[in-house]
Structure 1
Amino acid sequence: MTSRDRGLQPERTALAWQRTGLSAAVVAVLLLRSGITSGSALELAGGACAAVVVLLSAAAARAVPAPRLRLRLVTAAVLACGLCTLASVLAR
């Protein structure tokens, strides 16, 4: 049985937070662009929530393990982004 190297877990977690931030940045740019061109306040709000996810995930990548409050804030921002996007799609 091989021993597990626990020294790499923080690095993997930081990389996962970086991937989360990158994907949230793409979503934020797309929602903000779509909100500006169509004039949809819901898409702009969704883009703003995604931008908050980018900032929080960047902070979480630097402080591994992330505090529970930060994890809850990221979860709330992702849910808010999803709800704004869903409302925008249903409003069309």
Structure 2
Amino acid sequence: MSDRGLQPERTALAWQRTGLAAAVVAVLLVRDGVVHGSAWGIAAGACAALAVPLSALAARATPSAWTRLTLVTGAVVASGLCTVVHLLLHYDG
């Protein structure tokens, strides 16, 4: 039997921190989208919110490492793209 040490626990805690950060970002983006009446802002918040349950799944090590990394990265990138579009449309000066 191999001793894996604390690495699995550290990995799970890192995924939990990622989920918490995504939740905070999602709330802020949705609030900004509602205040400015922007569907892109709300969509960005929804994509960030999608990263929360995906991070929770990753913390449990249910899916493979490649799958969980790909899913969370996709949600974060989609949120970033929606945020960029929101900023370009509503803060052009």
Shorter-chain TM-score: what band?
Answer: 0.7 to 0.9
Question: Percent identity at matched positions?
Answer: 67
**Within 5 A, what are the aligned runs for 1:71-90?**
71-90=69-88
Q: Check if 1:63 corresponds to 2:61.
A: yes
SS at match of 1:6: coil
TM-score, length-normalised on structure 2? 0.86
Q: Tell me the equivalent position of 1:33.
A: 31
Please tell me the root mean square deviation across aligned C-alpha atoms, in Å: 1.4
Q: Tell me the equivalent position of 1:15.
A: 13
Q: Deviations over 1:13-63 (max 9, x none)?
A: 000001100100000000111111211011111000001001100111112
Report runs of 4+ in structure 1 exceeding 3 Å deviation.
none
TM-score, length-normalised on structure 1? 0.87
Aligned AA (2:74):
A
**Structure 1 unaligned blocks of 5 or more:** none
Number of residue pairs matched?
87
